[in-house]
C-alpha cells in the first residue's frame, strides 16, 4: 500500500497504474497492490470504489478494525470519539488513522494539539460519553494525562496500543522473532485492578490492614477460575516483614491482629508462589504481588531510616509497575494512612492524598483503608 498526496498539482505519482480519475479534493490518497491483483487506488476521504477491499487491507496491515476498537461491554458500541496519541515523527500513520476514523464519522482529537486531551476528557466525563484512545507503543507517559484514573474507573472507554512495539525484543516472555516487525493492536487497561497497600497501614494500623486483605479475599472468593483479575501489591518480602513486626510488637494489644494479618498474607501468597519461579501452563498467579527484595535493594533499610522517603519510593515503583502491567489491569489504587492512629483522625472516610501522588501519577488514585474497604464491600 502506498499513501501519497492527493493534490492534482502533484504529478510525481503518475507512474502508478490504474489511478482513479476521481476529482476528489482529498489531500491524501491510497494505492493498494495485492499479491494476486493489479493495484487499486482510492482517496482518503472517499474510498467508494471498493470500500470492502480498502477496509480489509487496513484491517490486515494496520489493525484498523472498527468492530474491535469501538466494541464496548455487553455488545454495546462505543461513541465515535477517538483520541490519537502518536509522536510527530509518525505523522504518516496519524494521517491514515485519522482518514479512516473520519470515514467512520468519528470525532478525532490529536494529542499534539493544545487542549485536545482536555476536550476529549470533557466529552467523556462531563457529557457521560465513551470513545477510544489509540496510543503508539512509544507513548507511555500515561501518568501525564490528567483525569486518566477517573476515565478508567467511571467510563468504558477503550485503550489500544497500535503500531510496531520495539520494546518487545527486551521482553523474553512476549518476544516473537517471526512477528517482531508486524504492526499490532494490543488492548490496554482491560479489566480488574491492582491496589498497593503502603507500609504504614501494615505497621501502624494492623486491624485496618487485616480488614483490607480479608475484604479483598472475600470479594474474589467465589469468582471462577480465570475470573480473579484483581491483585494486592505490597513492599518486597512482605511475609517475612510481617513476622518481624509480630516480634517487634509482641506485647502490643494488636498482636492478635498481626498474627492474623500474616495468615491472611500467606493465604494470598502461598509459599510455593514465591521466589519468582516459572509457572506451569494455565496456572493462576498469586493474588498478592510482593516484588523480590533484589528488585528493590535497600528498601527495608530505607523504611527504618525514613518512613516518608521509603513510602514515596514504594509509590513511585508501583506507578512504574502499573505502566508495565497496563495489558493486565485497568484500575490502580494506593491505600495509605497519613496518621499512625487514623481512628483519632476526623473524617476517617474521606480520601487522603497529602503528598499529592495522584496528581504526580494521574493513573493512580489514593484512598485510606476505610474508604477502600467500603468501596469493595459495595461490589
Of 36 and 62, which is predicted with more confidence? Answer: 62
CATH class of 68-173+182-188: alpha beta
CB count within 10 Å of CB 82 equals 25
Of 306 and 36, which is predicted with more confidence? Answer: 306
pTM equals 0.80
Mean pLDDT, residues 181-210:
92
The residue ranges of every structural domain in the chain are 2-62, 68-173+182-188, 193-277+285-377
Residue 310: φ, ψ to 5°: -65, -40
User: Residue 185 pairs with which residues in a beta bridge?
Assistant: 162
Of 149 and 53, which is predicted with more confidence? Answer: 149
Cα separation, 271 vs 147, whole angstroms? 38
Sheet architecture: strand order including 158-163: 107-110, 81-85, 132-135, 158-163, 184-188
Look over the chain and give the mean of its residue pLDDT values, rounded to a whole number.
81
pLDDT in tens, 93-132: 888 899 889 888 899 999 988 999 999 999 999 998 999 9
pLDDT in tens, 15-42: 554 444 555 555 555 555 444 344 444 4
What CATH number was assigned to the domain covering residues 193-277+285-377?
3.40.50.11490
Cα separation, 207 vs 343, whole angstroms? 11
Amino acid at each position: 500500500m502506498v499513501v501519497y498526496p492527493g493534490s492534482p498539482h502533484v504529478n510525481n505519482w503518475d507512474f502508478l497504474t490504474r489511478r482513479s480519475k476521481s476529482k476528489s479534493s482529498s489531500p491524501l490518497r491510497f494505492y493498494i497492490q495485492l499479491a494476486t491483483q493489479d493495484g487499486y487506488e482510492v482517496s482518503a476521504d472517499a474510498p467508494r470504489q471498493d470500500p470492502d477491499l480498502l477496509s480489509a487491507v487496513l484491517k490486515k496491515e494496520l489493525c484498523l478494525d472498527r468492530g474491535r476498537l469501538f466494541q464496548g461491554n455487553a455488545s454495546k458500541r462505543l461513541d465515535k470519539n477517538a483520541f490519537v496519541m502518536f509522536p510527530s515523527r509518525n505523522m504518516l500513520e496519524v494521517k491514515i488513522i485519522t482518514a479512516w476514523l473520519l470515514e467512520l464519522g468519528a470525532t478525532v482529537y490529536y494529542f499534539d494539539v493544545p487542549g485536545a486531551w482536555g476536550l476529549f476528557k470533557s466529552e467523556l466525563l462531563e457529557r457521560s460519553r465513551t470513545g477510544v484512545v489509540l496510543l503508539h507503543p512509544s507513548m507511555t507517559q500515561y501518568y501525564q494525562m490528567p483525569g486518566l484514573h477517573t476515565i478508567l474507573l467511571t467510563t468504558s472507554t477503550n485503550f489500544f496500543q497500535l503500531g510496531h512495539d520495539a520494546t518487545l525484543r527486551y521482553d523474553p516472555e512476549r518476544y516473537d522473532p517471526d512477528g517482531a516487525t508486524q504492526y499490532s493492536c494490543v488492548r490496554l487497561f482491560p479489566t480488574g485492578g491492582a491496589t498497593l497497600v503502603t507500609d504504614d497501614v501494615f505497621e501502624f494500623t494492623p486491624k485496618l490492614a487485616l480488614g483490607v486483605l480479608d475484604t479483598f479475599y472475600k470479594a474474589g472468593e467465589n469468582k471462577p477460575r480465570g475470573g480473579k483479575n484483581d491483585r494486592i501489591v505490597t513492599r518486597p518480602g512482605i511475609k517475612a516483614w510481617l513476622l518481624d513486626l509480630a516480634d517487634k510488637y509482641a506485647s502490643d494489644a494488636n498482636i492478635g491482629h498481626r498474627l492474623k494479618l500474616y495468615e491472611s498474607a500467606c493465604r494470598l501468597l502461598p509459599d510455593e508462589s514465591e521466589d519468582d519461579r516459572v509457572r506451569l501452563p494455565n496456572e493462576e498467579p498469586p493474588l498478592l504481588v510482593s516484588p523480590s527484595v533484589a528488585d528493590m535493594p535497600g528498601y527495608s533499610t530505607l523504611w527504618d531510616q525514613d518512613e516518608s522517603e521509603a513510602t514515596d519510593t514504594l509509590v513511585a515503583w508501583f506507578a512504574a509497575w502499573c505502566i508495565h502491567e497496563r495489558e493486565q489491569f485497568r484500575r490502580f489504587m494506593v491505600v495509605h494512612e497519613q496518621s499512625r492512629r487514623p481512628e483519632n483522625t476526623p473524617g476517617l472516610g474521606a480520601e487522603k492524598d497529602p503528598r499529592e501522588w495522584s496528581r504526580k501519577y494521574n493513573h493512580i488514585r489514593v484512598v485510606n483503608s476505610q474508604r477502600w474497604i467500603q468501596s469493595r464491600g459495595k461490589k
